[in-house]
Chains A and B, each alone.
Chain A
Amino acid sequence: DTAVSQTPKYLVTQMGNDKSIKCEQNLGHDTMYWYKQDSKKFLKIMFSYNNKELIINETVPNRFSPKSPDKAHLNLHINSLELGDSAVYFCASSHRTSGGISSYNEQFFGPGTRLTVL
Chain B
Amino acid sequence: EDKVVQSPLSLVVHEGDTVTLNCSYEVTNFRSLLWYKQEKKAPTFLFMLTSSGIEKKSGRLSSILDKKELFSILNITATQTGDSAVYLCAAYNTNAGKSTFGDGTTLTVKP
Please report the number of residue pairs spanning A and B whose Cβ atoms sit closer than 8 angstroms.
63
Query: How many positions in chain B have a CB within 8 Å of any CB in the partner chain?
Result: 25
A41-B86, A41-B103, A109-B44 known; A56+B34 contact, CB < 8 A: no
B98 touches A107 (CB 8 A): no
Please tell me if A45 contacts chain B, counting CB pairs below 8 Å: yes
A107 touches B103 (CB 8 A): no
A43 touches B104 (CB 8 A): yes
Please tell me if A108 contacts chain B, counting CB pairs below 8 Å: yes
The A interface, classified by DSSP as helix, strand, loop or mixed, is: strand
Q: Can you name 9 extra interface pairs (CB under 8 A) apart from A106-B48, A107-B99?
A: A33-B98, A41-B103, A42-B101, A96-B97, A105-B34, A105-B99, A107-B90, A111-B41, A112-B42
**Which 6 A-B pairs rank lowest in CB-CB distance, beginning with the nearest?**
A109-B42, A104-B32, A105-B92, A43-B101, A102-B94, A109-B43
Residues of B at under 8 Å CB distance from A? 31-32, 34, 38, 41-45, 48, 50, 86, 88, 90, 92, 94, 96-101, 103-104, 106
List 20 A–B pairs whose Cβ atoms lie within 8 Å, in order of A's numbering: A33-B98, A40-B103, A41-B104, A42-B104, A43-B43, A45-B98, A45-B101, A56-B97, A56-B98, A90-B43, A102-B31, A104-B31, A104-B32, A105-B31, A105-B94, A106-B45, A106-B48, A107-B34, A109-B42, A111-B41
